[in-house]
Structure formats: C-alpha cells, structure tokens
Copies of this chain bind each other. A is one copy, B any other.
C-alpha cells in the first residue's frame, strides 16, 4: 500500500492536521524543525497526495472512458492509441472498456464509468445494436448527464456529438477508381446491412458512382460478405458464374477472402480481376498482391473525439456539430486497367 498522511503521523508522532497543513504549504504557524521532520519523512515514504481526494473536491477525475467493441481489432487499436495520445497531451487518462460488440456491456460500462466518476466517454457502439437500441443508448447517456462523443458507428435516429467517416464517399471513391480503369462489370461484396449503417453507406456510394457512369446496378453482382474473410470467399463462390472484371469488397478482411478464393479459381489479381478493399488495415500492403483500398483517417478521428469531449467537459456545454472525415483512396497493386478480351 502507498503511504498516506496517517503513516507519516504514525512514524513522526505529529497529528494528521499538522502534517496536512505542512504538506499543503499552509503550516505558517508550525516550526521549521517540525516542518523539516515531516517533509523528510514524506520523502522517505515516497508520499504522494491522493488524487482521489482531489478529484472529489474538484468533481473532476481527469479520466475519460473509452468504450470499444474489440481492442484486439487493428482499426480500434489504432484509434485507442490516438485517443490515449491526445488525452495524455491534455493531462487526461483513459479507462479501457472492451465490449466484445455486446450491447449489454455498453450499458454496463456506461454505468461503471459514471460510478467511477469518469468525466466523459468516447463511445463506439456495439455492433449488435439495432437502430432503436442505438437511439436508446443515446437517450440514456443524455439522461445521466455525462459528456460523451460517439465515434465511428453513428446512430441515425438521434442527433448527438459524433466523429465519423463519410462512408458514402468511400464507396464512391472505390467504384470511381474501378470505372476510371475501364471496368463496367463491377461486383460489390457488401457488409452486414441490417445493423451497420456504415456498410449501407459504402454500398450507396458504389451505386452513385455506377449511376453517374450510366451503368445500372446489376443485383446479381451484389453479394453479402459480412465483413469477414469467410464471407468474402463465399461471395466469390456465388459470383463466379457471373460476368465481372472487378470487385469492390466493403472491407479489407472480406477483400482478403475474395483474393484467396479467386486464386483457388485460378483468377489472377489484377490481371483477370481488379479488387478494391476498404479500411487500409496494416496487413493490406502485406498481402500476396498488395491491396488497393480506402483509408479512414483513424488517428485524426481519435484525436478529434478527444478534442470535442474535453471541450464539453471544460465548457460544460454540448458541442453543436458532428465532425465527419472524408476517407481517401490508396492505390496499390490489386487494381489494373481492364484487359481487352
């Protein structure tokens, strides 16, 4: 156990009050000899003031919570690093709350953070939230009056402080890139639509680019990929009987599954089929054919979330607006100009 004022009292024989006055620099009426004895003992015991007590007086713990679906996922781990970094620069600390993408844990952690006296929450919602449940979570955060910023998965049914990526633009950039290389038969391997608004937005961006190019979206070229490697592979099995020269997979994990399965079918990337992923996870460049993909500004998003949150905490008012970052296209080797057939 760390040393307290009581320990210094026990070892020096002075009262807790006397010691407290000296350590807080208010011992005006106390003799120098006594002061020196107390300060020497405090140093010897490595006494440090108890910040819990300070927090209680100031009603500020200088700690925020980070509720995150899965810290072992590279995307979230990178965001955690940015959030930790931004907090540290401002003298704040981060409590890590890993939910395993489980809605009940979102709630549990919100209560826990409120109980611990966290000053605010950076909140990435669990994937198993429906739109209605997401709205309820926002209502709950509002009802307990704890400052918060929602990141990445932004609920549609409530207006709230949020930082995210414009995934419609991301999907648009991916499809535009393939169109610019001469592709017309472009398949889309979509993510889990039911619950994830970001997956739907990527698909809408793809549709907009196709329509702008005067190409009607062919439903036979749209397959579920579930954002997983297995889902990407399964999508190729469904697509293989169709006529296509390019695939936009709505995240990198499914793009990886797409590439592996194309290889099984002896289709070469990019000679036979161009592939675009989404996220630019760090292994995207390490794949057999380094992946062309859409990069989110993860670090900037994490830092912006902290900025908005600390502003709320310091100014005691809600920020007006959402901050939405535009993603960017990263061209590597998995896309090429369409081959004359």
Using a CB–CB cutoff of 8 Å, the interface residues on chain A facing chain B are 1-4, 46, 48-53, 55-56, 59, 61-63, 66, 70-74, 77-78, 80-81, 84-85, 88, 93-98, 111-112, 114-117, 143-146, 256, 282-283, 286-288, 316
* A282 neighbours in B (Cβ, 8 Å): 283
Give chain A's interface secondary structure class: mixed
* A256 neighbours in B (Cβ, 8 Å): 286
Residue in B closest to A74 when the chains form the complex, CB atoms: B74
A84 CB contact (under 8 Å) in B2, B55, B74, B98: B98
Copies per complex of this chain: 2
Pick the 6 closest A-B CB pairs, nearest first. Answer: A288-B288, A77-B77, A283-B283, A52-B117, A72-B81, A51-B115
* A97 neighbours in B (Cβ, 8 Å): 84, 93
The smallest beta-carbon distance between A89 and chain B, in angstroms, is: 12
- Give A316 to B72 CA distance when docked, in angstroms: 32
Q: Are B48 and A56 in contact (CB under 8 A)?
A: no
* A98 neighbours in B (Cβ, 8 Å): 80-81, 84-85, 88
A52 CB contact (under 8 Å) in B48, B74, B116: B116
* A145-B316 contact given A80-B71, A81-B70, A93-B97, CB 8 Å threshold: no
Sample of 12 further A-B pairs with CB below 8 A, known A71-B81, A71-B84: A2-B145, A2-B146, A50-B56, A51-B116, A52-B56, A56-B56, A63-B95, A72-B77, A77-B77, A85-B98, A93-B116, A95-B96
The smallest beta-carbon distance between A148 and chain B, in angstroms, is: 12
The smallest beta-carbon distance between A302 and chain B, in angstroms, is: 11
**14 A–B contacts from the bound complex (CB under 8 Å):** A1-B316, A2-B144, A3-B145, A48-B115, A50-B117, A51-B115, A52-B56, A63-B116, A71-B71, A72-B74, A81-B98, A85-B98, A96-B96, A286-B286
* A146 neighbours in B (Cβ, 8 Å): 2
- With most chain B CB atoms within 10 A of its CB, the pick from A3, A50, A73, A256 is A50
- Give A98 to B302 CA distance when docked, in angstroms: 14
Q: Are A72 and B63 in contact (CB under 8 A)?
A: no
* A51 neighbours in B (Cβ, 8 Å): 115-117
- Give A3 to B143 CA distance when docked, in angstroms: 10
Q: Are B3 and A66 in contact (CB under 8 A)?
A: no
Q: Are B49 and A115 in contact (CB under 8 A)?
A: yes
- With most chain B CB atoms within 10 A of its CB, the pick from A2, A4, A114, A144 is A2
Q: Are B2 and A114 in contact (CB under 8 A)?
A: yes
* A62 neighbours in B (Cβ, 8 Å): 116
* A111 neighbours in B (Cβ, 8 Å): 48
- With most chain B CB atoms within 10 A of its CB, the pick from A48, A117, A282 is A117
* A112-B93 contact given A46-B144, A71-B81, A283-B283, CB 8 Å threshold: yes
The smallest beta-carbon distance between A172 and chain B, in angstroms, is: 28
Residue in B closest to A146 when the chains form the complex, CB atoms: B2
